[in-house]
Amino acid sequence: MATLLKQDNWYYSQFYCKDRSPQRKRIALKTKTKRTAQKIHKKLEDKYAQNLYDPWTGYDATKSTLPVSENSSIKEVLDYYVTQKSQEDWRSTTAKNTSYVLYSFGRYIGEDKCIQALKPDQINSFLNRDKYAYATKKTHKKKIVPFAKWCKKENLISYDFGKVKIYNNDKEQDNTINYLTEEEIEKLKNGIREKVAHDIEKGYQNAERNAYWLIDFIDWQRYSGMRISETLSLRPENINTETWEVTIGSDSFNTKSKAKQILPIGEVEPLKKLAKKLLENCSEGERLFKHKDRRRTSRTFKKYVRYALPEREDICVHSSRHTCCIHLLRSGVPIYTVQRWMRHASVKTTQNYADLLNMDISNQVGSAFA
């Protein structure tokens, strides 16, 4: 009926039905503990056998009744919301970060209060605390407002959350899109070469296993614009060497949009050349960059940024994605093409980068009619 599988230390339940498409459907159990995985797997099997659960559609009859009401406390509603979203579509990192903000918000307004005490003014008060930067306020808003809208959808509250606003304390908004110039990228790569060579000579790093891989990683990021988790999850089977298409997402890894995405690199020579190099040194099933820990990679990257570019403390791995987007726009690539390459859900996101460049509209329109 169903098989308990383990991949990269994570457990999955795989269901099979010859009449369904696809015939095999893998469900992430979101645990690394075998005993916990066995319990969850057994529950899913039982519900599937009783036609109470369909892994292909996500239908679960046992969740049809909402266990919270308009008289529930804020903490009770938060617990249910976080649990449900974690099971439905949140990735583990999303669940951790979002729940941290939501529970902080709950403590701020009083988690023992009735859910009906939740009002737009309280959200505004939490979001606009002076100790947080404007970018952090925006991040918090993206996590709290969906929760409030969900509460309204479930008839737990009835307020208009269109009044939720964040303010910048009458200060000019800081540039939150941090990116690297071509000169800074070369300086960073040279800094890595210099530091690693010195460490190998002193015996601090191994000649066969060292941080030289970061150079290829940086180039891949700047050309592909992929997110760090997407890049570290790449395997040889994700790259079709006949069509030169990179498939982002797999049964064991979900993209931000929860759907598999395609990146065509056939005409992108620097990226295609790098892909060939990486494939030559990678076995089937092995990770392309041979690293999977996102946090460790981020810390290592930051270490070399501080060494080579001490004045750019604002730079992180994600800045290389910004760098790719900025470079494409600056080179005159149409904004909708850039949106598709970056895989932004909305062109409005891409427009933020274009606005940052303060493009000369007159020159572009003039060249079109020349």
pLDDT for 170: 45
Mean pLDDT of 265-277: 93
Q: Choose the final residue of a domain: 98, 128, 163.
A: 163
Shared-domain flag, residues 81 and 22: no
Shared-domain flag, residues 140 and 26: no
pLDDT for 174: 47
**If you search the block for the tokens 């296993």, which residue do you land on?**
209
pLDDT tens per residue, range 319-348 = 999 999 999 998 889 999 999 999 998 898
Name the percent of the chain lying above pLDDT 90.
47
Backbone angles phi, psi at 186, to 5 degrees: -65, -40
Range of the domain at 123: 74-163
User: How far apart, in Å, are the Cα atoms of 133 and each of 90, 101, 139, 346?
Assistant: 25, 15, 10, 25
d(CA 198, CA 203): 9
Shared-domain flag, residues 247 and 290: yes
pLDDT tens per residue, range 110-165 = 989 999 888 888 888 999 888 787 778 888 999 999 999 899 888 888 887 777 88
- Indicate the pLDDT class of residue 169, thresholds 50, 70 and 90: low
CATH of the domain at 134: 1.10.150
Question: How many independent structural domains does the chain possess?
Answer: 3
DSSP letter for 236, please: G
d(CA 264, CA 249): 14
Shared-domain flag, residues 203 and 311: yes
CA angle 39, 44, 50 (to 5 degrees): 130
Shared-domain flag, residues 292 and 200: yes
Dihedral sign for Cα 195, 201, 205, 208, please.
Answer: positive
Q: Is residue 189 within 8 Å of residue 307, measured between CB atoms?
A: no
Residue 346 lies in a domain: no
Shared-domain flag, residues 58 and 100: no
Residue 156 lies in a domain: yes
Residues β-bridged to residue 230: none
Shared-domain flag, residues 195 and 308: yes
Amino acid identity for residue 165 in this structure: K
Shared-domain flag, residues 202 and 312: yes
Shared-domain flag, residues 98 and 196: no
Shared-domain flag, residues 253 and 137: no
pLDDT for 88: 73
The helix/strand/coil state of 13 is: strand
- Indicate the pLDDT class of residue 18, thresholds 50, 70 and 90: confident
Average pLDDT, the chain: 86
